[in-house]
């Protein structure tokens, strides 16, 4: 090899030996050492409370604004909903669109709506604090004003029972409710206890809905307790998620598609985006699995 660093007898090819400790290599090595030094794990006694706090905050946010599950303790929505079923409630939907006939909704009853709680909640600061915390994560005792019913009439609708065949009519069109109504009471004159099928013609006021339970003979509802303000809605019940054997979407019955608008216009196409087939619940399922609330719906029923 000549003094110029070229191989003799062959084409001149420059030869260079890289220095293993160039400035760039040294810099990267130092960064790795510093980064590794800074990534020390937190002690378990610090990390575990932080993880629990993050999980608690996530559960509270999801339950408050997105989705919540409710237990059904009574029979006023049989056989659509059985005692002990758990339903998933979409709390966002009515911020995006108006309620529709046939939807099953969870709402807070007004002062006119009676409760069926056998025991009144205990008083005292500790009891109140416990209920407040439990309510945040969905494990509180039943709220006496959380109710579940099916929407029969929306603002402007004229609702009445009965026609010549004993059917409920909405804007003059009779509903075929055989698919979801259970134990309809006898056709009798209206009374204030919801023990008769018949009720006078009512026009649903703006901002309200007319609701009824599917178990008509065992439900106190708008027939005797008045309209429900839409602003009191908690959300739409979209799916039965427990027990597994009862898994099903809470569909809008086909009969409501035949009801004309209050002004006489023909029925409008559904704007639920397929919500009637349960698709509204699919994006919410991962969040529902994270939430394990035990809050029950206190529904309004008539004791035998």
pLDDT in tens, 110-120: 888 876 454 45
Integer Cα distance of 81 and 85 in angstroms? 6
Q: What is residue 64's predicted lDDT score, i.e. its pLDDT?
A: 59
SS3 130: helix
Integer Cα distance of 168 and 176 in angstroms? 8
SS3 30: helix
Does domain 68-290 fall into CATH 2.10.109.10?
yes
296 is catalytic: no
Say if residues 146 and 68 touch (Cβ distance below 8 Å): no
In the chain, the N- to C-terminal Cα span, in Å, equals 110
Which of the following is catalytic: 69, 76, 219, 222? 76
149 is catalytic: yes
Say if residues 162 and 170 touch (Cβ distance below 8 Å): no
Task: Tell me which H or E stretch contains 63.
Answer: helix 44-65
Say if residues 231 and 224 touch (Cβ distance below 8 Å): no
Residues of the chain with CATH 2.10.109.10: 68-290
Which of the following is catalytic: 74, 91, 141, 149? 149
- 97 Cβ neighbours under 8 A, 6+ residues apart: 271, 272
Rg (CA), the chain: 31
Integer Cα distance of 99 and 204 in angstroms? 13
Output the DSSP codes for 138-172. T-SPPBTTEEEEEEEE-TT-EEEE--TTS-EEETT
pLDDT tens across the length of the chain (304 residues) = 444 444 444 445 454 445 554 555 556 655 555 555 555 677 777 777 777 777 767 666 666 556 888 888 888 999 999 988 999 999 999 999 999 999 999 999 888 887 645 445 555 666 566 556 555 555 444 466 789 999 999 999 999 999 999 999 999 999 999 999 998 888 877 777 788 889 999 999 999 999 999 999 889 899 989 999 999 999 999 999 988 888 999 999 999 999 999 887 777 665 544 444 444 554 455 544 444 444 445 544 443 4
SS3 201: strand
């Amino acid at each position: 090899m000549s003094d110029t660093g070229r191989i003799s007898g062959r084409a001149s090819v420059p030869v260079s030996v890289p220095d293993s400790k160039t400035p760039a290599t040294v810099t990267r090595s130092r960064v790795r050492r510093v980064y590794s030094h800074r990534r020390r794990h937190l002690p378990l006694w610090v990390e575990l409370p932080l993880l629990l706090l993050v999980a608690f905050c996530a559960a509270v946010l999801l339950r408050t604004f997105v989705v919540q599950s409710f237990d059904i303790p009574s029979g006023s929505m049989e056989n659509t909903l059985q005692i002990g079923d758990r339903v998933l409630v979409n709390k966002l939907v009515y911020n995006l669109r108006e309620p529709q006939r046939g939807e099953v909704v969870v709402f807070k009853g007004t002062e006119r709506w009676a409760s069926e709680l056998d025991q009144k909640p205990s008083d005292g600061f500790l009891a109140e604090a416990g209920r407040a915390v439990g309510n945040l994560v969905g494990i509180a005792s039943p709220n006496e004003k959380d109710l579940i019913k099916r929407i029969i009439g929306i603002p402007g609708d004229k609702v009445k029972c009965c026609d010549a065949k004993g059917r409920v009519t909405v804007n003059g069109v009779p509903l075929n409710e055989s698919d979801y109504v259970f134990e309809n009471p006898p056709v009798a004159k209206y009374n204030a206890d919801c023990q008769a099928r018949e009720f006078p013609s009512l026009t649903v006021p703006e901002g309200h809905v007319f609701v009824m339970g599917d178990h008509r003979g065992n439900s106190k509802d708008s027939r005797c307790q008045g309209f429900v303000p839409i602003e009191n809605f908690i959300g739409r019940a979209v799916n039965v998620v427990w027990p597994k054997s009862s898994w099903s979407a809470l569909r809008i019955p086909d009969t409501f598609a035949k009801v004309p608008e209050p002004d006489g216009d023909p029925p409008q196409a559904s704007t639920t985006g397929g919500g009637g087939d349960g698709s509204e619940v699919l994006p919410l399922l991962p969040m529902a699995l994270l939430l394990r609330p035990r809050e029950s719906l206190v529904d309004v029923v008539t004791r035998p």
